[in-house]
């Protein structure tokens, strides 16, 4: 099971150093989500990383930078009119799914689908207290996927921390994405290691 980290939305003076350290600690994929940033701000930020590090970063806005900077891929929000058939020249493609019908449409089309909220959010207090995602139905969808639909890795987001990793595995998710559990911790790298260790006890990394 994959463990993915999503960036804080706002500028964080710790972020670059922490991301470097997270890559060293084994983070496979970093999702750069800065909705208020310009293309120039993103490009300047990304140029601080080596080509091999950039190849592990997925960009959530200003997609045109992905091929220019050698990024892993791009992501679409589900309220931003994601394409029915995503272009392949941006690398890996993913989209947000806040509704299980949207998830069904994404299966077999995108490389990854991030489904949320699963549990009460850590980074957005009050969000996900009454999740819009029916976990029992999600589990059925994941179990019934065709081989073609399994091309799309389904990643869980929202309230993810070490204590819920077993439940995430039970649901049949292909990975989990964390944000608040990392960035709200006084030691984000140690928090990442703790979640990774919790995950490793219940599911192998893939």
Q: What's the CA gap between 97 and 173, in Å, rounded? A: 14
**Domain residue spans of the chain:** 2-78+87-200
Q: Does the pLDDT at position 124 exceed 90?
A: no
Cis peptide before 97 (omega within 30 of 0): no
Q: Could you tell me the CATH superfamily of domain 2-78+87-200?
A: Aldolase class I (3.20.20.70)
pLDDT of residue 133: 85
pLDDT tens sequence across 14-42? 999 999 999 999 999 999 999 999 999 99
pLDDT of residue 129: 44
The angle formed by the CA atoms of residues 197, 125 and 199, to the nearest 5 degrees, is: 10
């Amino acid at each position: 099971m994959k463990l993915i980290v999503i960036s804080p939305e706002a500028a964080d003076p710790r972020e670059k150093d922490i991301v470097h350290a997270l890559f060293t600690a084994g983070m496979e994929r970093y999702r750069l989500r800065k909705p208020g940033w310009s293309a120039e701000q993103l490009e300047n930020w990304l140029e601080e990383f080596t080509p091999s590090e950039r190849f592990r970063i997925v960009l959530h806005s200003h997609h045109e930078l992905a091929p220019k900077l050698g990024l892993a891929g791009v992501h679409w929000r589900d309220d931003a009119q994601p394409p029915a058939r995503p272009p392949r020249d941006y690398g890996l493609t993913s989209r947000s799914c806040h509704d299980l019908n949207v998830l069904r449409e994404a299966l077999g089309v995108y490389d990854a689908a991030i489904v949320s909220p699963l549990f009460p959010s850590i980074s957005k207090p009050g969000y996900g207290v009454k999740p819009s995602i029916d976990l029992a139905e999600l589990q059925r969808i994941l179990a019934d996927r065709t081989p073609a639909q399994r091309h799309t890795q389904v990643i869980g987001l929202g309230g993810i921390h070490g204590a819920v990793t077993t439940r995430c595995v039970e649901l049949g998710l292909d990975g989990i994405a964390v944000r608040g559990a990392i960035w709200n911790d006084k030691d984000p790298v140690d928090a990442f290691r703790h979640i990774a260790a919790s995950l490793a006890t219940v599911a192998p990394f893939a």
